[in-house]
Chain A
């Protein structure tokens, strides 16, 4: 019944018709030129466009993750807070489909922002520092080209972002509180690396299956796994992440489908 694309249009309308979404995009677009220009003015040594791009991308990924978690949390919990869930769910669509439109719109938001971040950091640093060719500055001894490094970095970071956002989406759907969902997901983002460091010294096999250990996939670009004591392959890490991905979504969908709406 009806056209699923319309549901996506609706969710996008609710994301992009808000001022704060454009403020978020403003951060992504304006922060890289600001950093690059400051570095150009105050730094003594010459900087390469690739190094600056990766440094800025690291910051932007944290920002985009936080922004997407905010969007993911509000897309479900917000409807409960606003009371609009009562009007949204009495349409000729199953709850699962409505939740899917929300999830896909959230991922589209993340993708849009990440593509924007890639283009802005690439262009700004070429303009400010000049193009230093397609050398292997970033990977050093591993010897893969800078383009390949940058693209792999974005791909791997985007995978981690999806996992964190899916966690936020689950929290939003389970607790109907966007504050709680945002808080937990962001602490997940920051505590993740601390927990990963702590666990990496434990000499037990189960450490390999802890989610936090696999959120830093970028170490595979250098050919090393994220857990020094437990050598793993990229395929293994992706399998573990896929397991959590399925679990989180299973919880989101089960809770959302069964819940009595009393808001």
Chain B
């Protein structure tokens, strides 16, 4: 069964003055998918997100949410969206509950029971009738999540959601987003510059640089290519002797006291046997997978913000 994408960007372009901030960005996010938006500061992540939620206009192209154009049918499109753009700013002079009530009133589908349900979901029931000015940053984040999911949106947009969260909070948010995607089929669009975070959270990431998408790749469900050579490190007691034994087996070298060479899967087993047969003790074999961070830096280089 092929599903219609929840959000579809088509050649989205934003020109401010003479500068092209966003240049022909296109992508789709499917129901139940956590889609990451990755890029260095100033690459246009926030601008793209602001265009998706209608806070900024498009110079060219179109954005459709659940089949409705953000440009032409804004209320019909945005009703499917829950969002936190940058920090969740709340009315500090109102209580947490009054803040939620404020946004609930603007959406006809939200009942009083649903507000209560969401308060319990984010674990704010003890403090919900306190003024927001007395909340910690973590509690404001929770309130932000509550207002974003109250109307069961099809698309949840989070801009730098882990800013200001402690490690436990980040983990909780990550688990919650994954659950939301899996159980309710919500499409989640997250932006971040924290690569390791994105690696744990997302199914797919788009890498944005200078307003252009330079790559979109899957993170989960990636099939291991058995034939591909990978960098393998052998931790052995006599690296030099080992290197001599493996002479002729490609480009082996010693890095940080570890025998390092490029070899495929079957090669690893063969090498290990030869080392053991030669009387060398092998303490460990490690396949060096490239982290998203390595790949990201490889792609974006260390260029300065232009």
Chain A residues with CB under 8 Å of chain B are: 1-3, 6-7, 9-10, 13-14, 17-18, 82-84, 86-87, 89-94, 258, 260-262
Instruction: Check if B54 sits within 8 Å of A14, measured CB to CB.
Output: no
Q: Return A11 CB to nearest CB of chain B, in Å.
A: 10
The binding surface of chain B is classed by DSSP as loop
B81 close to chain A: CB less than 8 A: yes
Chain A residue, CB-CB nearest to B16? A260
| Complex alpha-carbon distance, A113 and B91, angstroms | 24
Return the contact of A84 from the options B54, B76, B90 (Cβ within 8 A): B90
| Complex alpha-carbon distance, A87 and B78, angstroms | 12
| Complex alpha-carbon distance, A9 and B147, angstroms | 18
Instruction: Check if B86 sits within 8 Å of A86, measured CB to CB.
Output: yes
| Complex alpha-carbon distance, A261 and B83, angstroms | 15
Stretch at the interface among B104-112, B231-239, B241-249, B281-289: B104-112
Report B81-105 CB contacts with A as 1/0, cut-off 8 Å: 1011111111111100010011101
* Residues of A contacting B105 in the complex (Cβ-Cβ under 8 angstroms): 6-7, 9-10
B interface size (C-beta, 8 A):
34
18 additional A-B residue pairs with CB within 8 Å, beyond A17-B93, A92-B107: A1-B76, A2-B106, A2-B108, A6-B106, A10-B106, A13-B102, A14-B102, A84-B89, A86-B89, A87-B103, A90-B83, A91-B103, A92-B76, A92-B78, A258-B57, A260-B16, A260-B57, A261-B55
* Interchain Cβ contacts under 8 Å between A and B, 10 examples: A1-B76, A9-B105, A13-B102, A17-B94, A82-B92, A87-B83, A87-B88, A90-B78, A92-B78, A260-B55
Report B68-87 CB contacts with A as 1/0, cut-off 8 Å: 00000011101101011111
Chain A residue, CB-CB nearest to B159? A86
* Residues of A contacting B76 in the complex (Cβ-Cβ under 8 angstroms): 1, 92
Q: A86-B86, A91-B78, A94-B75 are in contact. Are A262 and B56 (CB under 8 A)?
A: yes
* Residues of A contacting B98 in the complex (Cβ-Cβ under 8 angstroms): 13, 17
Chain B residues with CB under 8 Å of chain A are: 16, 50, 53-57, 74-76, 78-79, 81, 83-94, 98, 101-103, 105-108, 147
| Complex alpha-carbon distance, A262 and B92, angstroms | 20
Instruction: Check if A7 sits within 8 Å of B106, measured CB to CB.
Output: yes
**Which of A7, A10, A91, A262 has the largest count of B CB atoms less than 10 A from its CB?**
A91
Instruction: Check if B91 sits within 8 Å of A91, measured CB to CB.
Output: no
Instruction: Check if A83 sits within 8 Å of B107, measured CB to CB.
Output: no
Instruction: Check if A18 sits within 8 Å of B78, measured CB to CB.
Output: no
| Complex alpha-carbon distance, A6 and B106, angstroms | 7
Instruction: Check if B75 sits within 8 Å of A93, measured CB to CB.
Output: yes
